[in-house]
Amino acid sequence: MEIETSATKLAYGISEAVKATNVGRSRLYEEIRAGKLKTFKVGTRTLIAANELTAWLASYQSAKT
């Protein structure tokens, strides 16, 4: 599974990450708390870098093969 990235989409908010990955909000927060998915803050917004989100998804793909 590959997340569509473009020159303008460098990071995702939580709601955007939920839509982009089709993974539930609670599950994303669990992964963040567990340290499996890295985030950063800009002001009050929690963001996930596009490359972090892609790597996180890839870790699940490689675990299954």
pLDDT in tens, 8-55: 689 999 999 999 999 999 999 999 999 999 999 999 999 999 999 999
pLDDT of residue 61: 84
- 61 vs 41 pLDDT, higher one: 41
Q: Which two tokens stand for residue 25?
A: 């909000």
Report CA-CA distances (Å) from 30 to 9, 53, 62: 24, 14, 20
pTM: 0.81
Is the pLDDT assigned to residue 58 strictly greater than 60? yes
Domain range enclosing 58: 11-64
Q: Which two tokens stand for residue 13?
A: 């908010």
Residue 6 is assigned to a structural domain of this protein: no
Instruction: Report the DSSP beta bridge partners of residue 42.
Output: 45
Residue 24 is assigned to a structural domain of this protein: yes
Q: How many domains does the chain have?
A: 1
Residue 2 is assigned to a structural domain of this protein: no
